[in-house]
Amino acid sequence: MVLQEAFEWQIALYLFLGGVGAGAILSAVIVDFYDREKYLAYIKGASLVGMPAVSIGCLFLLIDLGQGLKKPWLLIYLLSNPTSAITWGTAILSLFIFISLIYAAYNFNFIKFGGGTFVKIALILLCLGTGGYTGVLLGLLKAIPLWHQTALPILFIISAASTGISAAVIMKELFIKDKGELHMIETMHYYLLLIEFVIVFGMILIGLNGVPEMVYSMKLLLVGKYAFQFWSMFLILGLILPIIVYTFVESKKLHLSKKSIVLIEALVLLGGFYLRYLIIHAGAYTEKFVQYIGR
């Protein structure tokens, strides 16, 4: 059996930032269609997140590739095979960065074009592609059952939307002077967190009843090497606590201050990063797995 070395932290950051940027723009375009004037402050906050987050994420990907920084001219070969998922992903990321930059410039009145229906529909498709591609990229490695799950791209899209909203809200609260409206955003965010919880719970149940590699990965998360990060950083702080808080907010039993909003959204971002970090590292084969299946 060939052992799989875990990806480095740069890949986890790429997956995280790519999802955050895509999710922020996706939510911005949705509320833009709904009521641009009412949610303009949020749209501006999301515009500060989208292109920069994905661009920085791609930089971390290049750092992990190594040759991408040493010999950047080799990157053109990423577009050389139209049947390759890597080629499609490169095209999607490149188009997202370009069009989301135009959209951001339009939202801040730097240009007079870039907010039409065609641009917004294109951004929705690119956001879904960017968020889902991060899951598809791992799913291509069929030899690793934890990564090769149908639900993984769906989970990454939901998490991307959730963390994207969090980042956009933080930017809106800290850097956009206009107060703006957040009610629809908060409701959307609440249900995204609930859906994410259900998907994670389902993946755990499936994993514990799967092949030995899958069971081993799940035990690493639940009771093994990554249990502390899984239970504390991801599940409790990054998912369950925000769900509880937004349950009270949605029922109008709790009103959050500006500092509280930023704190809760920061916890969601923390959970989003650890979700990707843990899936990457728990899925990789190690020497201990050989010992595990040899029992």
Q: CATH number of the domain that 214 lies in?
A: 1.20.1630.10
Structural domain contains residue 238: yes
Q: What pLDDT, in 10s, does the model give residues 192-228? A: 999 999 999 999 999 999 888 899 999 999 999 999 9
Of 36-45, 72-81, 160-169, the range with the lowest mean pLDDT is: 72-81
Structural domain contains residue 252: yes
Structural domain contains residue 2: no
Q: How many domains does the chain have?
A: 1
Structural domain contains residue 14: yes
Phi-psi region of 225 (alpha: psi -120 to 50; beta: other; left: phi over 0): alpha
Structural domain contains residue 3: no
Structural domain contains residue 209: yes
Q: What pLDDT, in 10s, does the model give residues 56-112? A: 998 887 776 665 556 665 556 565 666 666 677 788 999 999 999 999 999 999 999
Q: Return the pLDDT at 90.
A: 81
Q: State the average pLDDT over residues 13-19.
A: 92
- Structural domain of 239: 9-293
Please state whether the predicted TM-score (pTM) of the whole model is above 0.85: yes
Structural domain contains residue 4: no
Write down the mean pLDDT value for the chain. 87
Q: Return the pLDDT at 1.
A: 38
Q: Return the pLDDT at 99.
A: 97
Structural domain contains residue 176: yes
